[in-house]
Amino acid sequence: MEAGAVKRVVIAGGGTAGWVAAAALVRHLGPLLSITLVESDEIGTVGVGESTIPTARSFHNLLGINEPVFVRETHATFKLGIAFENWRAEGDRYFHPFGSVGRSVWMGDFQHFWLEAAARGFAAPYGAYSPEQLAAEAGRFSNDPEAGLAYAYHLDATAYARFLRGLAEPAGVRRVEGRIERVTRDGESGFITGLELASGERVEGDFFIDCTGFRALLIGETLGVSFEDWGQWIATDRALAVQTESVGPPVPYTRAIAYGAGWRWQIPLQTRVGNGLVYASADLSDDEARQRLLDALDGRPLFDPRAIRFRTGMRSSAWSHNCVALGLAGGFIEPLESTSIHLIHVAVTRLLQLFPFHGIDDAIVSRFNAQATREGEGIRDFIILHYKLTERADTAFWRRCRDMAIPDTLTQRIALFAESAMAYQAGEDLFRVDSWVAVMLGQGIRPAHWHALAQLMPDAELRKAFTDLEAGVRARVAKLPPHEAAFAN
């Protein structure tokens, strides 16, 4: 590709993606770059993702973010996992906790010992060995490192973008207000050279970051990078989002509640609750979806539900020419496991590591795209897992999910666990072994076999190990304060 030093970075679009990129670039590469962000107050943000995963904490550490200030400014609460209701079957419930469950050894993970103990008749439910699950269900939490809990955040996405802007602008990021009307390119290289605004102003740059949302103005409309649609596996294509008044103390977990044509979320913040309905338009009309959501709300809605249309999938290349797409411009994986903000964080981190200071190099671009593709496909498979492993047959939607063909990568994972209780985290996989195990057990897989290592333990020894482990987790959780104490001040 074309050589030439990269000194001027232009971020097209604001919102969470734009201001995450701006804050990270100026924090770590500020003296080396001129950073300009172009956004229009006329264009709203989608703002569906108000929930994160524990990797957000690591990213915030990279930015030097003070957690109490962040929690106050974004009205955040803490999150220890996700409760899945009605997914395996109507009336069923399981929990996907953050952190490690039980204790593992190098030869075999905890689930092998748990399955052996269950077969002998003295294992408690799997979640009884997770501090995060027990704390979540008891409404307890502490972010004291001594508590040792793995946690993430529920947050106000609009306030989060505003908070990051408050870090980025004083550090040197220039914000330009205006609507982008035209993107210009070099006639020979095809590289983007500038953004022309409705005001007549032109913003030029050496490197561009597309944060223009579903429109994908740079990566899609201008550079023509194709979109790989995953609708054959994840059929939901609509969402409604609304905020409601709180009716009780916020719980430290997200609820994902399945129904006949999709699922709905419930995300508690300090002063309100985020609610939404994700559905397949082939199975539910927009009017029916709106009424279903309104009927399910616990508190008074603060505005009319906002409608969002989407396609699940990714751009075939996240980086093309001198442009990287972030957030919705690069793709969308429905928010079932709260991965949207993570994908922005990890892409920006990857860009910092691979930044093309001396020009756009094919090897760097290929490396960036390969990592992004592998991570995106891994998350895709994890989401499909929830739909595929269902026993529901009450609607056409769930029957299609149960019977659909799935990617070979996921077929192999399911077969490995079903036969031998083996799970793994490979390469660019986001989700750890504990996550795969929690969901596969929760969705109803009971492995035919497990590692024989656990068979070496006599009954008395295995029983004592499990009794002590469960008692230790319960004692640890009992010492934790109520969740709301963590953001009371």
Residue 62 has pLDDT above 80, yes or no: yes
Q: Name the token pair of 383.
A: 């989401």
Global pTM reads 0.95
- Domain holding 329, by residue range, is 8-50+156-230+315-360
Hey, CA dihedral for 329, 374, 418, 84, is it positive or negative?
negative
Residue 48 has pLDDT above 80, yes or no: no
Residue 15 lies in a domain: yes
Q: For position 185, which CATH number holds?
A: 3.50.50.60
- Name the residue among 178, 238, 186 with its Cα closest to residue 214: 238
Residue 458 lies in a domain: no
| Section 298-322 average pLDDT | 95
Residue 92 has pLDDT above 70, yes or no: yes
Over pLDDT 90: what percentage of the chain?
94
| Section 318-334 average pLDDT | 96
pLDDT at residue number 50: 86
Residue 47 has pLDDT above 60, yes or no: no
Contact yes or no for 236/334 (Cβ under 8 A): yes
pLDDT at residue number 222: 98
Residue 415 has pLDDT above 90, yes or no: yes
**Residues 205, 197: Cα–Cα separation, whole Å:** 14
**Residues 344, 329: Cα–Cα separation, whole Å:** 11
Contact yes or no for 216/325 (Cβ under 8 A): yes
What Cα–Cα distance (Å) separates residue 315 from each residue in 219, 220, 240, 380, 478? 8, 8, 24, 13, 47
**Residues 24, 18: Cα–Cα separation, whole Å:** 10
Residue 289 lies in a domain: no
Contact yes or no for 11/26 (Cβ under 8 A): no
Residue 168 has pLDDT above 80, yes or no: yes
Q: What is the pLDDT of residues 334-343, one digit of tens each?
A: 899 999 999 9
What Cα–Cα distance (Å) separates residue 164 from each residue in 11, 15, 138, 227, 282? 14, 10, 32, 29, 38
pLDDT at residue number 4: 76
**Residues 156, 251: Cα–Cα separation, whole Å:** 16
Over pLDDT 70: what percentage of the chain?
98
Contact yes or no for 359/7 (Cβ under 8 A): no
Phi and psi at residue 29, to the nearest 5°: -130, 10
Average pLDDT, the chain: 95
**Residues 118, 156: Cα–Cα separation, whole Å:** 42
Residue 479 lies in a domain: no
Residue 288 half-sphere exposure toward CB, CA atoms < 13 A: 11
Q: What is the pLDDT of residues 104-155, one digit of tens each?
A: 888 889 999 999 999 999 999 999 999 999 999 999 999 999 999 999 999 9
Residue 218 has pLDDT above 80, yes or no: yes
**Residues 114, 163: Cα–Cα separation, whole Å:** 44
Q: In sequence order, which residues have a C-beta less than 8 Å from that of residue 217 and are 6 or more positions away?
A: 12, 13, 180, 183, 210, 329
Residue 422 lies in a domain: no
Q: Is 464 a catalytic residue?
A: no
| Section 173-184 average pLDDT | 97
| Section 261-287 average pLDDT | 96
pLDDT at residue number 82: 98
pLDDT at residue number 471: 97
Q: What is the pLDDT of residues 457-470, one digit of tens each?
A: 999 999 999 999 99
pLDDT at residue number 2: 53
Q: Mean pLDDT check: name the lowest of 19-33, 45-59, 410-424.
A: 45-59
Q: Name the token pair of 476.
A: 């640890």
Give the per-residue SS3 of the chain: CCECCCCEEEEECCHHHHHHHHHHHHHHHHHHCEEEEEECCCCCCCCCCCECCCHHHHHHHHCCCCHHHHHHHCCCEEECEEEEECCCCCCCEEEEECCCCCCCECCECHHHHHHHHHHHCCCCCHHHHCHHHHHHHHCECCCCHHHCCCCEEECCHHHHHHHHHHHHCCCCCEEEECCEEEEEECCCCCCEEEEEECCCCEEECCEEEECCHHHCHHHHHHCCCCEEECCCCCCCCEEEEEEEECCCCCCCCEEEEEECCEEEEEEECCCEEEEEEEECCCCCCHHHHHHHHHHHCCCCECCCCEEEECCCEEECCCEECCEEECHHHCEECCHHHCCHHHHHHHHHHHHHHCCCCCECCHHHHHHHHHHHHHHHHHHHHHHHHHHHCCCCCCCHHHHHHHHCCCCHHHHHHHHHHHHHCCCCCCCCCCCCHHHHHHHHHHCCCCCCCCCHHHHHCCHHHHHHHHHHHHHHHHHHHHCCCEHHHHHCC
pLDDT at residue number 44: 62
Encoded amino acid at 63, one letter: L
Residue 330 lies in a domain: yes
Q: What is the pLDDT of residues 354-412, one digit of tens each?
A: 999 999 999 999 999 999 999 999 999 999 999 999 999 999 999 999 999 999 999 99
Residue 242 has pLDDT above 90, yes or no: yes
**Residues 48, 85: Cα–Cα separation, whole Å:** 20
Look at the chain and report how many structural domains it folds into.
1
Residue 283 lies in a domain: no
pLDDT at residue number 333: 92
From the candidates 7, 79, 388, 464, which is the catalytic residue? 79
Residue 251 lies in a domain: no
Residue 98 has pLDDT above 90, yes or no: yes
Residue 489 has pLDDT above 80, yes or no: no
Residue 35 has pLDDT above 90, yes or no: yes
Residue 196 has pLDDT above 70, yes or no: yes
